[in-house]
Amino acid sequence: MSADTYDYVVVGAGSAGCVVANRLSANPSVRVCLIEGGGSDSSVRVKVPAGILSLYGNPNYDYRYVGVPQPHLNNRRIPVNRGKALGGSSSINSMVYIRGAASDYDEWARLGCAGWGYEDVLPVFKKLERNRLGQNQHYHGTDGELLVDNPRDPNILSKMFVKAGRNADLPSNDDFNAASQLGLGIYNVTQDRGQRFSSYSAFIRPVLDRKNLTVLSECEVLDLVISEGRVTGLRTLRNGERKTINVNREIVLSAGAINSPKILMESGIGEAEALRQQGIEPIIDLPGVGKNLQDHVDGMITVRSSSAKTLGLSVANLPRMLAAPYQYFVNRKGMLTTNYVEAGGFARTKYAGELPDVQFHFVPGYRSHRGKLVEYGHGYAIHTCVLRPKSVGEIKLTTDGSRRDVLIDHRFFSDERDAAVLVEGIRIARSIFASPEFDGVRGEEMLPGKNVRSDDEILAYLRAEALTVYHPVGTCKMGTDAMSVVDPQTLKVNGVEGLRVADASVMPTLIGGNTNAPSMMIGERAARMILNTPH
């Protein structure tokens, strides 16, 4: 058998792909290749939680996508950070372990994805999880590969934030993955003794000695080889060399909500007329590819404070900064343990039904009002996002004449209901900050600013400043309607054999929370489907 031929090829060593490759390669009689476009995750800036500030926008770890101008956000182009390293986005994210609400998955089942209801997926989440917190075992697992823990050394302001929730009638919540998401709390994180624990750390690094598993990093997938309705391989570019990798059984696309539809469209799978306009001969007319893009649109409140209790770059904080490396590498304590969004939670606006419709990510340090990654001084901030947006966008191909790229169009606020929810979310966030808990560290609200008070003024601020919390999903959705891309029972791409998609792109709707853990669950489900397929 050729060294460039495998039984299974998994594209994308991210949250889902690492799970798929682990499970498939557990059978020593099959050869598995895991392909990642990025490089090593061994840098200290990846391992140390506080290093996240050096990852966003860094071309060594981030694809650095930028969306198209958004008409409802003052024609601004929104950054779309996606992980480009072993571990994918789980190597650059904030490590928050959230699954979403039970009803999110029941909604998937209602939309035609039988077998994806909450009672179906909960055992999968539990199998993957190694919970170190002693949380309710009805909801949590203790024997899985994925470590789930509390932050090692939360900042005092993170704890103040949780107590301040009482000012907005928000209870303390120590487990957002149990019966209810409502309330504020310290987030559970995917860390191992204060060190980032990515999907690669959990599922691939421990099995690298498997002789039947090959990991190819810094390897770009150009397109798929399709013959007589079946995928037989893929074309790659690595170290300047183009090579075809053949597959005997199946290819699994786990390249994420941006790159999985891109690879499909590059391969002639997508809306036929749009492909022809890009000079691509359609092989399978599948109009849903790239459609149904959903993401969490986010607004921020940032406050300047003179208190050195907060994280910050200052002369007053110099002793703590100088001590931080020693504290971290000896005791796994101190400033370097922070993931910057140590606390957060969920609330209901006046537009919500039973479920929370906004999520908070609290930062116990100053978020620059000028958009800088790091700014001198102290403060604190809160991000508020719309949990279940109604605005739906799409991803399309474009070309500069030499090679193709993607156009990412979120269409944020194209549905006015999202704007209304986020305005109310900002009001709730302000009521948390108004709590007496913050009196000792209170400072000037820099954004939106104390004079921004009415709904129209807050909305104008959001149009000028809102971004995303980087949870794109839905662009290869599973379902049974005409716009579905994959079959819910198999995750096979409709109309072609030997090809599945297993990542956040298959979500029919965006779950209410962070998407790292749900993507791993999808990877586990996909692997079970493959292993149950006769070959």
Q: What is the CATH number of the domain that holds 347?
A: 3.30.410.40
In terms of residue numbers, what domain contains 440?
152-186+297-386+418-465
373 and 343 together in one domain: yes
204 and 244 together in one domain: yes
- Does a structural domain hold residue 453? yes
User: Can you tell me the mean pLDDT for 71-82?
Assistant: 97
- Does a structural domain hold residue 305? yes
User: Can you tell me the mean pLDDT for 305-311?
Assistant: 94
This prediction's pTM: 0.97
Which CATH number covers residue 210?
A: 3.50.50.60
Give tens-digit pLDDT for 470-508: 999 999 999 999 999 999 999 999 999 999 999 999 999
Question: Is 383 among the catalytic positions?
Answer: no
Q: What percent of the chain has pLDDT over 90?
A: 96
Amino acid 248: pLDDT: 97
218 and 274 together in one domain: yes
241 and 365 together in one domain: no
Residue 1, pLDDT above cutoff 50 = no
- Does a structural domain hold residue 220? yes
User: Can you tell me the mean pLDDT for 15-42?
Assistant: 98
357 and 227 together in one domain: no
Query: To the nearest 5 percent, what fractions of the chain are helix, strand and coil?
Result: 30, 25, 45
How many Cβ atoms from other residues are within 10 Å of residue 491's Cβ? 23
Amino acid 57: pLDDT: 93
User: Can you tell me the mean pLDDT for 399-412?
Assistant: 87
Residue 535, pLDDT above cutoff 80 = no
314 and 260 together in one domain: no
Specify the 3-state DSSP secondary structure of 437.
helix
Number of domains in the chain: 2
Amino acid 2: pLDDT: 46
243 and 353 together in one domain: no
252 and 373 together in one domain: no
Amino acid 369: pLDDT: 87
Amino acid 402: pLDDT: 67
313 and 381 together in one domain: yes
Amino acid 78: pLDDT: 97
Q: What span, in angstroms and rounded, lies between the C-alpha atoms of 487 and 176? A: 30
User: Can you tell me the mean pLDDT for 527-532?
Assistant: 97
- Does a structural domain hold residue 143? no
349 and 457 together in one domain: yes
pLDDT band, residue 104 (cuts 50/70/90): very high
Name the active-site residue from 296, 361, 471, 535. Answer: 471
Least Cα distance to 406 among 63, 16, 92, 90 occurs for 63
- Does a structural domain hold residue 25? yes
User: Can you tell me the mean pLDDT for 232-250?
Assistant: 97
Q: What span, in angstroms and rounded, lies between the C-alpha atoms of 521 and 529? A: 13
Residue 223, pLDDT above cutoff 50 = yes
- Does a structural domain hold residue 103? no
231 and 373 together in one domain: no
Amino acid 401: pLDDT: 67
- Does a structural domain hold residue 136? no
Give tens-digit pLDDT for 245-290: 999 999 999 999 999 999 999 999 999 999 999 999 999 999 999 9
Is 330 annotated to bind a ligand? Reply is no
Amino acid 373: pLDDT: 77
Amino acid 3: pLDDT: 56
How many Cβ atoms from other residues are within 10 Å of residue 211's Cβ? 8
Is 363 annotated to bind a ligand? Reply is no
* Poorest-pLDDT segment among 182-191, 193-202, 363-372, 506-515: 363-372
Is the distance from CB of 359 to CB of 346 less than 8 angstroms? yes
- Does a structural domain hold residue 447? yes
Amino acid 452: pLDDT: 98
322 and 254 together in one domain: no
Q: How far is CA 505 from CA 27, 43, 146, 358, 468, in A?
A: 27, 28, 22, 22, 17
Is 446 annotated to bind a ligand? Reply is no
Is 81 annotated to bind a ligand? Reply is no
Is 66 annotated to bind a ligand? Reply is no
